[in-house]
Structure 1
């Protein structure tokens, strides 16, 4: 069954030929893949921005500079950002790999939620509704199952996780841990 896309505001970050080349080099190093394209994604990863606004998030992802944690290029990014008022912003085309989850970037769509706490998203009708609608649409578009909609903190348990860089094989973040994703996936199933 086809699901209509939710309203999406296109706010692309710079993703020119240099960033595409860096993404391809990243995919070779980390996954042994000679491509920058996101082909038939299998996972959707939910994230928290750890800041208070869409503009802060945009300004974090737009510059193509080494990230502060892993010090690599291309710069980190996500495909979508959900603002506190429920506006869905698309930063990167779904045809490109984004650096948002170590071990899964090769097959994952990244969705950031503006804020600091998952409970803030789950308690906001606008944010939660936008997030669920976007996630459901992406699932329908790519045939992604509910169990492959994960929180960043669940990345290591994904059957699609793979990482060639030894020091990063167990690297993850704490946002959207299992206890919050149980609620999120329950709400997603009811959507």
Structure 2
């Protein structure tokens, strides 16, 4: 009974935003590749995302949602790290504020080296931090989605990070030597200070 009351309280505090389901193919082979990746990089023999602690914000470096979907849907080795499975994110937020879910929250996605085992990935269609932060509809949708995930999974605001902050996360873990300092420059610390300041507590 207490669990039900808590769940209802969280739902009231942060109602689920409207989410459009647009799944990318994630068949058995891709799951097996994700499990093998998790074993190599984290020592975890599973493709399951269990007990997530982090939300990582990204931008896509594309101008449309369809371009982003077309990048994530094929299960091809990524051009940067040359690994399988292909890269992906759990959610993509379009320029008009539409939230698309590409992958179930129970499955790991390859979006941030060192954190895929414990992080949801949220992509924003755009070319820069300024594109995201300057688009009122996209930013409002992003904050609604992030806050809902925070409240649902008990993720602290300090663990809502930009991709550029990945190395400073206390949850960052990487077993492959050449990747221990690998990160990207999207959603900088300065940008994320502003973003985090707009997240209301659960």
Question: Is this a same-fold pair by TM over 0.5?
Answer: yes
Gaps of at least 5 residues in structure 1 are none
Choose from 153, 167, 185 the match for 1:156. Answer: 167
Give, in angstroms, the shift of residue 189 of structure 1.
3.3
Matches of 2:153 and 2:61, distance apart in 1: 28
3-state DSSP class of the match of 1:89?
strand
Matches of 1:138 and 1:119, distance apart in 2: 23
Please tell me whether the aligned partners of residues 95 and 126 of structure 2 are also in contact (alpha carbons under 8 angstroms).
yes
Choose from 90, 99, 111 the match for 2:110. Answer: 99
Give, in angstroms, the shift of residue 15 of structure 1.
0.3
Question: After the TM superposition, which residues 108-187 of structure 1 pair with which residues of structure 2 at under 5 Å, given as runs?
Answer: 108-187=119-198
Give, in angstroms, the shift of residue 16 of structure 1.
0.6
3-state DSSP class of the match of 2:122?
strand
TM-score, normalized by length of structure 1?
Answer: 0.98
- Asked whether 1:6 is paired with 2:17, we answer yes
Alignment RMSD, CA only? 1.0
Give, in angstroms, the shift of residue 71 of structure 1.
0.2
Question: After the TM superposition, which residues 3-152 of structure 1 pair with which residues of structure 2 at under 5 Å, given as runs?
Answer: 3-152=14-163
Matches of 2:106 and 2:30, distance apart in 1: 13
Q: Structure 1: which 4+ aligned runs deviate by more than 2 Å? A: none
1:82-116 Cα distance to aligned partner (Å, 9 max, x none):
00000000000001000000000000000000001
